[in-house]
């Protein structure tokens, strides 16, 4: 696929490249400035929120500690004894003169079992039923010496806002813990969380106090108190603030799903976390306006730069356009080749001057070429006459060579036919001799053995004892002759080759060679039952016979593998040994002839339409392979 940029003219490419560099610089600068300004705005907003959160958290801690200290002061005037007189405790509580402004819900004196002993202001006896012993803040106050600010509770029958229990321990005359003084306060108290309604950071700034233990909102200027927050793992920033003590600035979403930037402050007296946040829409409003103005200005500057570049590049490249037009007219044949006027001495002027020098050189070269063409035409005519004469002579020689090749091909065909005939006659004669040896010689030897046995039986014991050694020698000689006759008959033409086929004949040959030479011969044939034409089976058997003979004489091999693979198109036959091998280059050198055994294998393979290949490497064995088509 062609590159569109490369197909543009030079002026367009220069204009686009310079414009791209200018635009990239302008827009990169605008983006970089916007990012820096956004980071600065984020830092300023987070610093403001952090200062507000620190101030508010310290104020809330101070107010809660003030109430705890007031309760501790009242508790110091009350001594609670076991089986205490309720009227006496009530009198001590009233004498403490607790402020209804600080504790608008009143105070409660609880014994060590969490039962109300006295309260201020007095309440109906029905409110005194029940026990506070299962409350966490009660158990914490009974177990320690410090005031305890418990987790906020939502008591709808008392107030729609959460109630914060503050508890201090009471002692008996011996200084032991005998009960607690409970002072519940409202989270909406103006001196507590109520003041958060009056403190604002921008238009969307909000505060939220969260209890990590319950994962609930204690108080929020924009959400209902005691609402549950997302479970742990949903909001990573929220989890870090509540459970890891992270107080730094971060952008996340508030419980309403709005993106905000916020900071947090841990409240030491309660373990709560105060979060101050502002929507990113308000926090980054100035930077968005600045970005819009910056990008608009960058767009105007980019367009102006593009126009200026267009006119400048067009003006600077005008001489190049004019020179290019003249060159095109010359190459199209509309004008003769001639030098072009040089307008100015710059890069374009030097380019035009170089073209003018090329034109002068071209004119001189054309003149030389015309002279050379005339000389070349004369030489070509002379050489053509010589080639015509040589061509006639070559045709004569080719005709004579074709006749010689035809004679050679005919001789080769006759020689191949004669070879096949000789092989056929040889195999026929060997088969006849094998039959003669089997039918006549073996039969005669058998008859001689029977006659010799009959003669032995007819001799007397004395004669038998005298002739025993000679008779035994005759019997052994007769047996050895019979075995030799069978071996010669089998070597001349094994009968198993005619009756059972090539594979059994090869297996028998391998067993015989193994007995004679101690070479292990293995025959492998996947298509064992496939019979080949008789002349091909005989040829392959003779090749294997010759190869095994050479192996026994020269290879020093321990094992030989004979393999036959046949399919619908061709026959692959190989004999491979693990002997010492030889260098095939030696027998392929000029002047070297193949041995009779190797030549015999090749001739037998070619006689049945196949090819014989011999592969061998010194020290790595030898493989004879035959390939022929079916």
CATH number for the domain that contains residue 618: 3.30.565.10
pLDDT surpassing 50 at residue 351: yes
pTM: 0.44
Indicate the SS3 state at residue 628: strand
φ/ψ bin of 114: left (φ > 0), alpha (ψ from -120 to 50), beta (otherwise): left
Domain membership of residue 231 (yes or no) is no
pLDDT band at 624 (very low <50, low <70, confident <90, very high): very high
* CA–CA gap between residue 276 and residue 201 (Å, rounded): 9
* Domain tally, the chain: 2
Average pLDDT over residues 146-159: 73
Q: Each residue of 28-37: b (16+ CB within 10 Å) or e?
A: eebeeebeeb
Q: Which residue has the tokens 């600065």?
A: 40
Strand order, beta sheet including 116-120: 116-120, 107-111, 177-186, 163-171, 148-149
* CA–CA gap between residue 539 and residue 612 (Å, rounded): 11
Structure tokens at 219: 């108080």
* CA–CA gap between residue 323 and residue 250 (Å, rounded): 64
* Count of CB atoms situated within 10 Å of the CB of 250: 18
Domain membership of residue 270 (yes or no) is no
- Give Cα 5 to chain centroid, integer Å: 34
Structure tokens at 325: 């037009």
Structure tokens at 80: 């609670």
Domain membership of residue 519 (yes or no) is yes
Contacts of 214 (CB under 8 A, 6+ apart): 151
| Contact (CB, 8 A) for 509 and 493 | no
Residue from 560, 565, 531 nearest 544 by CA: 560
* CA–CA gap between residue 328 and residue 310 (Å, rounded): 24
Question: Alpha-carbon dihedral of residues 234, 237, 240, 241, nearest 10 degrees?
Answer: -110
Task: State which of 186, 214, 240 marks the end of a domain.
Answer: 186
We report the CATH number of the domain holding residue 162 as 3.30.450.20
Domain membership of residue 589 (yes or no) is yes
Domain membership of residue 252 (yes or no) is no
pLDDT reported for residue 574 = 92
pLDDT surpassing 80 at residue 228: no
pLDDT reported for residue 625 = 92
Domain membership of residue 528 (yes or no) is yes
The residue with greater pLDDT, 409 or 234, is: 234
pLDDT band at 126 (very low <50, low <70, confident <90, very high): very low
Domain membership of residue 168 (yes or no) is yes
pLDDT band at 561 (very low <50, low <70, confident <90, very high): very high
Q: What is the average pLDDT value for the chain, to the nearest integer? A: 77
Task: State which of 125, 155, 186 marks the end of a domain.
Answer: 186
pLDDT reported for residue 511 = 87
pLDDT surpassing 50 at residue 1: no
Structure tokens at 596: 């009779």
Task: State which of 170, 186, 202 marks the end of a domain.
Answer: 186
pLDDT band at 522 (very low <50, low <70, confident <90, very high): very high
Query: Which domain does 116 fall in, by range?
Result: 77-186
pLDDT band at 7 (very low <50, low <70, confident <90, very high): low
Domain membership of residue 604 (yes or no) is yes
């Amino acid at each position: 696929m062609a590159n569109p940029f490369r197909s543009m003219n030079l002026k367009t490419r220069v204009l686009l490249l310079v414009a791209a560099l200018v635009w990239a610089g302008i827009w990169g600068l605008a983006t970089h400035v916007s990012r820096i300004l956004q980071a600065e705005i984020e830092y300023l907003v987070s610093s403001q929120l952090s200062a507000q959160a620190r101030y508010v958290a310290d104020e809330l801690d101070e107010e809660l500690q003030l109430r705890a200290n007031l309760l501790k002061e009242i508790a110091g005037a009350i001594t609670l004894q076991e089986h205490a007189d309720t009227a006496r405790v009530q009198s001590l509580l009233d004498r403490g003169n607790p402020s209804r402004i600080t504790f608008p819900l009143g105070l409660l004196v609880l014994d060590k079992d969490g039962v109300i002993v006295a309260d201020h202001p007095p309440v109906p006896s029905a409110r005194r039923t029940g026990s506070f012993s299962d409350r966490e803040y009660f158990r914490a106050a009974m177990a320690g010496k410090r005031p305890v600010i418990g987790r906020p509770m939502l008591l709808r029958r008392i107030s729609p806002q959460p109630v914060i229990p503050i508890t201090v321990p009471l002692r008996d005359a011996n200084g032991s813990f005998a009960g607690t003084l409970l002072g519940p306060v409202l989270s909406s108290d103006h001196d507590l969380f109520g003041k958060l309604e009056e403190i604002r950071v921008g238009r969307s700034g909000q505060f939220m106090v969260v209890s990590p233990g319950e994962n609930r909102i204690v108080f929020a200027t924009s959400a209902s108190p005691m609402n549950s927050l997302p479970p742990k793992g949903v909001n990573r920033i929220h989890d870090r603030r509540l459970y890891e003590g992270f107080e730094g600035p971060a952008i996340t979403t508030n419980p309403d799903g709005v993106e905000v930037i916020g900071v947090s402050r841990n409240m030491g007296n309660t373990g709560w976390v105060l979060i101050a946040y502002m929507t990113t829409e308000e926090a980054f409003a100035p930077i968005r306006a600045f970005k819009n103005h910056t990008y608009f200005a960058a767009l105007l500057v980019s367009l102006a730069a593009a126009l200026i570049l267009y006119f400048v590049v067009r003006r600077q490249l005008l001489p190049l356009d004019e020179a290019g037009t003249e060159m095109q007219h010359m190459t199209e044949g509309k004008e003769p080749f001639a030098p072009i006027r040089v307008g100015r001495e710059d890069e374009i002027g030097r380019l035009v001057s170089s073209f003018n020098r090329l034109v002068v050189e071209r004119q001189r070269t054309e003149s030389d070429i015309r002279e050379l063409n005339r000389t070349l035409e004369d030489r070509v005519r002379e050489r053509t006459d010589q080639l015509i004469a040589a061509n006639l002579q070559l045709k004569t020689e080719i005709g004579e060579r074709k006749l010689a090749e035809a004679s050679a091909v005919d001789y080769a065909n006759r020689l191949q036919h004669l070879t096949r005939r000789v092989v056929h006659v040889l195999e026929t004669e060997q088969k006849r001799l094998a039959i003669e040896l089997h039918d006549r010689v073996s039969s005669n030897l058998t008859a001689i053995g029977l006659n010799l046995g009959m003669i032995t039986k007819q001799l007397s014991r004395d004669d038998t004892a005298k002739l025993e050694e000679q008779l035994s020698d005759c019997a052994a000689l007769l047996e050895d002759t019979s075995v030799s006759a069978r071996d010669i008959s089998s070597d001349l033409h094994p009968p198993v080759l005619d009756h059972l086929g090539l594979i059994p004949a090869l297996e028998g040959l391998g067993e015989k060679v193994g007995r004679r030479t101690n070479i292990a011969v293995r025959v492998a044939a996947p298509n064992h039952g496939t019979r080949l034409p008789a002349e091909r089976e005989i040829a392959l058997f003779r090749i294997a016979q010759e190869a095994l003979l050479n192996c026994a004489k020269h290879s020093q091999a321990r094992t030989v593998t004979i393999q036959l693979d046949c399919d619908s198109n061709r026959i692959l036959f190989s004999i491979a040994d693990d002997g010492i091998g030889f260098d095939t280059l030696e027998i392929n050198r000029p002047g070297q002839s193949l041995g009779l055994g190797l030549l015999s294998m090749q001739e037998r393979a070619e006689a049945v339409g196949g090819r014989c290949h011999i592969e061998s490497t010194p020290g790595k064995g030898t493989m004879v392979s035959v390939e022929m088509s079916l």
